[in-house]
Structure formats: structure tokens, C-alpha cells
A and B are shown apart, each in its own frame.
Chain A
Amino acid sequence: MLVIKNLHAEINGKKILKGINLEVKPGEIHAIMGPNGSGKSTLSAVLAGKEDFQVTEGEIYYQGKDLSELSVEERAKEGIFLSFQYPVEIPGVSMINFMKTAVNEQRKYKKLPAMSSGEFLKYMREMKDLVELKSDLANRSVNEGFSGGEKKRNEIFQMAMLKPKLAILDETDSGLDIDALRIVANGVNKLKTPENAVIVITHYQRLLDFIVPDVVHVLYEGRIVKTAGKELAYELEEKGYNWIKEELGE
């Protein structure tokens, strides 16, 4: 589904990703862990196509397509979803209008007819229930005045609405208490199918108790320095990242 080869990326001349190799297959859950500043969020932004970052070397293939040729919105319509670490507040844009536009743009892309208002509202209600989103949030402006936990839950709600093939969860656990974490993780698990894939970016092993990864990668200074099964997350939790640094001879 996703093949990243020797990916280098920079922002304002500052090199952040220095040769990433990664392959994600349908049905898999990958966790990417690493200390602050290792390039985790940059990787998610580059996958989403954020123009602030320049890819200087390497390739990203998604479902056989060269991602560099696709705009942010095309990638989204192809099924790449980014759950933001800091969801943006957009006063004056209602959640309903936002989601309706997004869902119908995606349907148009897939040459499906637009959903009627009635169909859409029904669908929205179902997805709200699925991810246990409080109903009034959907009636407000996008993320405006939402608490930290509500914002993260709203990200998972949007994920439910858009049914991505590849979801990238960028530190979705940050700022969540244990109950909220469980709800968010439940939502992700309910949306999991053998056809889609999830990349979970996190500092801590905590979230991985709920969203159990098939593979864990350690990102350090712009490169993936270690890849193993889910037990790696526990090892990191226990020993910290210094252990990796020592292994690398630093």
C-alpha cells in the first residue's frame, strides 16, 4: 500500500528526514516511535503533502502511484488521512458543512453521486455513535472551543466519516486522559479492516496497549534505526531512547 524509499525532506533548508525506508501493507498497523525532534511529525506532514516541506531525495509510492504528483487534496481523496496532532480551529465553518463538503468531494472523485442532506445526516449520526462523539460537537464550528480531548475525538470522527485506506495518527494520544484514550482507540479499532492500514505516531507505549501494532519502528534523527514487533514498544517504555542511542554507538 505504502512504500517509502530513501526519503529525504527538509524545511527552510533544514534537513529533517535523512533517508527513510518503510513499507506498509494493507491490514497492517505500524507504530512509529521516537524522541522529540526525530522527524515523526515531519514524516506525517510529508505523507499528507504539506507544501512547507521539500522532498529532496527518495520516493513515496501509495497504491502504486507516485505521491509527489498528487496535491494535498488528491492524496486525501485517494484515501490518505492525517489525524492532526494539533487540530485547527476554524470559526464560522460548521462541522456539518465541512464534513458534507469533504464527503461529497470524495464521492465526486470516486464518481459517486453526492449524498442528499437526509442521507448525509443519517450517515453522520451513525459515525458519531460509532466513535462515541457527543452529539452537540457536530453542530458547532470546526474544533472551535473544543477541549483537547474533544478535538482528538473529532479527528477520529472525521476518519470514520471519510473511511481512509491509510490513516496516519500523529500523536493522537497527547493530551488525552485514559478514558478518552480508550474511546479514541476503540474508534480506530472499529474502523480497522483487512484492507486499510494505520500508522500510529507516538512517544509512548500507552496508546499501543489499545491499538496493537504489527510492527514498531524507531525514528531517530531522521532515519528509522530499529524495526521489530510490538514488544519493542515495551522495551522502549522500560529503557527509554538512550538505549537506542547507545546501540547506535552515540
Chain B
Amino acid sequence: MDIQQTFEKYIKIFEAHSPQLKAAESELVFETRLKAFEKFKKYGIPDHKDENYKYAGISEICSQDYEFSLDSRNALVDLNAYFQCEVEDMDTHVVLLSNGEYYQNNKPIESLTPGVIVCGLKEAKLKHKDIFEKYYNQYASESDDGFVALNTMLADDGLFIYVPKNTKVNKTIQLVNLTHGFGNKNIFKRNLFIADKNSELSLVICDHTLNNSNNFVIDVTESYAGENANLQYHALQNEPNKSGVINSHFIKLDRYSRVNSHVLSLHGGIIRNNLFTKLAGEFAEANLYGLNLTDREQRIDNFTFIDHLVPNCTSNELYKGILDEQAKGAFAGRIIVRKDAQKTLAYQTNRNLCLTPEAKMRTKPQLEIYADDVKCSHGATVGQLDESAMFYLRQRGINSKEARLMLMFAFANDILLKINIDPLRERVAGLINARLRGEFSDCSHCLMNCHTKN
């Protein structure tokens, strides 16, 4: 397979499945698919010739064929039994997605705050039509990204969360993406998270792959933070070595809202994260944090786009990466401060450690500022471990391996400190520590990764 063949494959898939899709949803939603289909035909699959996808390794992902299916690929066994959250003291509402579908045997969420809706996206299309149609694809439709169009035309399910006005969800909602079964799977997930006016929502999203296949995951998530809403988003990416993940997150912030996004890429084959953030109401604040730990032949590519549309908004962006062995990484951080967005504060930092001469990191800050009364800064570094610090630690009797680990952990630590949920932060600290030690981050039942480790 190559990119062109993959492109043609998806065209055929859509044509073959569109009657089935059409029959199961409203005209409006299906029209959204048709528009996305046109867009996909126009823009295609972005490859290395596309400046934004230059280093993402898409042709490598597309060299394989993946099985697509609209039919339920839900497990025959009880997935609830496979997954028990091992985050100690972490009291969450757990929701499982099974190969991208809302798991039909999800345990009912006990004592969920009244008014809050947590269900499958497919279900929301019909059951919560008004809310769904008000938000679905509103921000994502602005994108010209071929993968976003592809997801919009083919994705059928995912997670839907709605938090009504003046409501605080009593616990963090934890979404677990379980991948299982035989064969290389093509998984399309579509999540829609809405935190209405004055509401609060905290989310943790993690991946658990139970099979030993190469999967290609194409996800789109849209998050809408209403006026004065508070949204905390934590994604723990943990995919097998041979997987390909294209993940696009669209966050729209209304006035006085605050969104913290933490994207922690702990393990993966080829990961591409797109993060689109639109500050659409005054005094909104977006804090975007990223940490990636890569080694072997892994690739990580973070593309972030922050759009300051209106005055008095703040964005803080801090992304850090540690690349070992032959890992390759890229960061592109685009910030646009529109003409009207006076008094904008926009700060961007990207720091990277390359531990071997073979590890490669490319970083590209891009600031476009059209307003004249703003404070913006950006900084990007790619470096090695501080030799003088290494000597200092070793002189106190700490062996090189341990000293390296201490410095790497310290490097990752300031991203860790941004996590506000204490048990989660401790758990992630443990995962990072294990990961840096080369022990697999044995995040509960991720059997797959334990095998590939050897």
C-alpha cells in the first residue's frame, strides 16, 4: 500500500458504506459526512510534501492495510473484567470504548451528577439531537486537514459528554480506549465534550491495547468550553510500537473559560497530535502542556495551532520531549493573534532532550501577530543532558545511569507539576519513571506493550 492507494481505499469505503451510515442518522449529520467527503477528495491524505505533515511519517503508516468495519467489533468477553483502573486513590467515573465504539456493556455510571450526559456518540446523535447538532463539527469543520475530513466522513462512534450550565461533575471522567481482537485495525473515534456555561469537567483519557496487531487510529475530539467553564483534559497516550495514531483535538473557548490540556505521549509507534485551540471569547485562558517520551524507532509529531480571535485572552504552551535511541520528533507551534485581539498574552516554549546523536528533533515556532498591544514570547531548544550536572551528581556517588534518570525525570517534572489531580500526578510520575528506566510503563493490563518490550 501507498498513500494514493490508501486514499482510494477510503473513497471506496465511504461509497460502499454511505447507505448504511445514512440510514442510521439524521439528514444533517449525514450531510456533514458528504461535505467532509468532498473535502477529503480535495485535500487527500497529507504526506511529507505537506509542510504541516513533513515529519509525521504518514507514508510509513499507509504502507500497510488496515481492516475497516462499521459493524460492531465489540468484544465477546466482558471488557469490564479486563480493565480495572490501577491508579490508586483515583476515584473516577470509568467509561470504556471498545475498538472506538462505546462499549455496550459499560457499567452504568453510579451517582453521576444530575443533568450530566455521558454516552456513546452514536447514541447522542439520536437521543440528544439538539445538543449534538448544535456543537458537532462546528469547529472541526473549519479545518482543511485531510485526516479530520476522513474522520468526519467515516467515524461513527466515540464518547459524548455534556455538562449543563452551573454544574460541576462530581468526579473525573476517565475514558479508556481499549483496542483488542485479531488483525490490523483501522479505528476511527469521534469524541464530543461540551462544558456549558459555569460548568466544570475533568477528563482523563488513556489507551489500553490488548492485542498484538498494528492498528491505525484516526481520532477527532471536539471540546467546547462555554462561558466561565472549566475544562481539564488529560490524555495519556500509550500505544504499541507498530501503531499509527493521528489525533486531532479542537478546543473552543468562550469568554472567561479556562482549559488545561495535558497530552502525555508515553509510548507509541508513530503519533501525530494536532491541537487546534480557538480563544473565541474575551478573558479566556488556555494552558496547553505536552510531554513526549520516545525511543527506538518511535516517532512523535506535535502540531499546535492557537488562534487568538478576541482581546484579553491568555495562552500558555509548554511542550517537552525526551528522545532516545533513533527516535524522531517534530514540534510545530503556530500562534495567530488576530487584529482585534489586543492585550493578548501568548507564551510558547518547546524544549527537547536528544539523548543520542541518532535521535532527531525538529522544532518550529510560528507566531503571526496582527495586533499591536500584546505580549508574546516563544522559545525552542534541542539539547543534550547537562554534562556539568551529570558530573556533579556522579561526584556525589550517584552512578551515571541513575544520574541520567534523575536529570531526565527533572526535565519532565515541570510538565508533571501542571497536573492538578494529585493521585493522577503521582501515577503519571511513576509511569514516567518506569518508562525512563526502560521498564515498560506497565499501565495495568496493557499486555501488548509488555510483549513488544523484548
Q: Do A and B share a complex?
A: yes
Name A residues whose Cβ lies closer than 8 Å to a Cβ of B: 48, 50, 71-73, 76-77, 81-82, 84, 87-88, 90-93, 97-98, 101-102, 105-106, 109, 141-142, 158, 162
Whole-angstrom CA separation of A101 from B331 in the bound complex: 34
B389 within 8 A of A: yes
Q: Could you give, for residues 382-410 of chain B, a 1 whenever the CB lies within 8 Å of some chain A CB and a 0 otherwise?
A: 00001011011111111110110011011
Closest B residue to A79 by CB, please name it.
Answer: B397
A82: which B residues are within 8 A, CB to CB? Answer: 395
CB distance from B79 to the nearest CB of A (A): 38
Q: Is the CB of B392 within 8 A of A92?
A: no
Whole-angstrom CA separation of A51 from B397 in the bound complex: 15
CB distance from B410 to the nearest CB of A (A): 3
Question: If A72-B391, A88-B386, A88-B388 touch, does A93 touch B397 (CB 8 Å cutoff)?
Answer: no
Q: Is the CB of A90 within 8 A of B397?
A: no
Question: If A82-B395, A97-B406 touch, does A92 touch B413 (CB 8 Å cutoff)?
Answer: yes
A105: which B residues are within 8 A, CB to CB? Answer: 397-399, 402
B407: which A residues are within 8 A, CB to CB? Answer: 90, 93
B14 within 8 A of A: no
Whole-angstrom CA separation of A97 from B403 in the bound complex: 11
Question: If A88-B386, A105-B402 touch, does A73 touch B394 (CB 8 Å cutoff)?
Answer: yes
CB distance from A60 to the nearest CB of B (A): 16
CB distance from A106 to the nearest CB of B (A): 5
Q: Is the CB of A98 within 8 A of B393?
A: yes
CB distance from B389 to the nearest CB of A (A): 5
A87: which B residues are within 8 A, CB to CB? Answer: 392
Additional pairs, 7, CB under 8 Å, beyond known A88-B386, A90-B389: A73-B397, A76-B397, A87-B392, A88-B388, A105-B398, A105-B399, A141-B410
B358: which A residues are within 8 A, CB to CB? Answer: none
B388: which A residues are within 8 A, CB to CB? Answer: 88
Q: Is the CB of A73 within 8 A of B400?
A: yes
Name B residues whose Cβ lies closer than 8 Å to a Cβ of A: 386, 388-389, 391-400, 402-403, 406-407, 409-411, 413-414
Q: Is the CB of B398 within 8 A of A101?
A: yes
Whole-angstrom CA separation of A141 from B393 in the bound complex: 13
Q: Is the CB of B394 within 8 A of A91?
A: no
Closest A residue to B397 by CB, please name it.
Answer: A76
14 inter-chain pairs at a CB distance below 8 angstroms, sorted by A residue, are: A48-B395, A71-B394, A73-B397, A73-B399, A73-B403, A82-B395, A84-B392, A88-B386, A90-B410, A92-B414, A93-B409, A98-B398, A102-B398, A109-B397
Q: Which of B396, B397, B398 has the most CB of A within 10 A?
A: B397
Q: Which of A50, A91, A92, A97 has the most CB of B within 10 A?
A: A92
Whole-angstrom CA separation of A171 from B411 in the bound complex: 30
Q: Is the CB of B411 within 8 A of A102?
A: no
Whole-angstrom CA separation of A35 from B290 in the bound complex: 50
B402: which A residues are within 8 A, CB to CB? Answer: 101, 105
CB distance from A94 to the nearest CB of B (A): 9
B406: which A residues are within 8 A, CB to CB? Answer: 93, 97-98, 101
Question: If A92-B413, A93-B407, A105-B402 touch, does A162 touch B397 (CB 8 Å cutoff)?
Answer: yes
* Across the A-B interface, the 3 shortest Cβ-Cβ residue pairs: A92-B410, A76-B397, A102-B396
Question: If A93-B406, A101-B406 touch, does A88 touch B397 (CB 8 Å cutoff)?
Answer: no
Closest A residue to B400 by CB, please name it.
Answer: A73
Q: Is the CB of B398 within 8 A of A73?
A: yes
Q: Is the CB of A102 within 8 A of B397?
A: yes
Whole-angstrom CA separation of A90 from B386 in the bound complex: 9
B395: which A residues are within 8 A, CB to CB? Answer: 48, 72-73, 76, 81-82, 84
Whole-angstrom CA separation of A98 from B402 in the bound complex: 11
Q: Is the CB of B393 within 8 A of A90?
A: yes
Whole-angstrom CA separation of A76 from B403 in the bound complex: 14
Whole-angstrom CA separation of A88 from B382 in the bound complex: 20
Closest A residue to B413 by CB, please name it.
Answer: A92
CB distance from B421 to the nearest CB of A (A): 20
B393: which A residues are within 8 A, CB to CB? Answer: 90, 93, 98, 102
B386: which A residues are within 8 A, CB to CB? Answer: 88, 90
Question: If A72-B391, A101-B402 touch, does A93 touch B410 (CB 8 Å cutoff)?
Answer: yes
A48: which B residues are within 8 A, CB to CB? Answer: 391, 395
Q: Which of A87, A88, A141 has the most CB of B within 10 A?
A: A88
B399: which A residues are within 8 A, CB to CB? Answer: 73, 105
A91: which B residues are within 8 A, CB to CB? Answer: 410, 414
B394: which A residues are within 8 A, CB to CB? Answer: 71-73, 76
B410: which A residues are within 8 A, CB to CB? Answer: 90-93, 141
B411: which A residues are within 8 A, CB to CB? Answer: 92
Choose one: A50, A81, A102, A109; the contact of B391 (CB below 8 Å).
Answer: A50
Closest A residue to B406 by CB, please name it.
Answer: A93
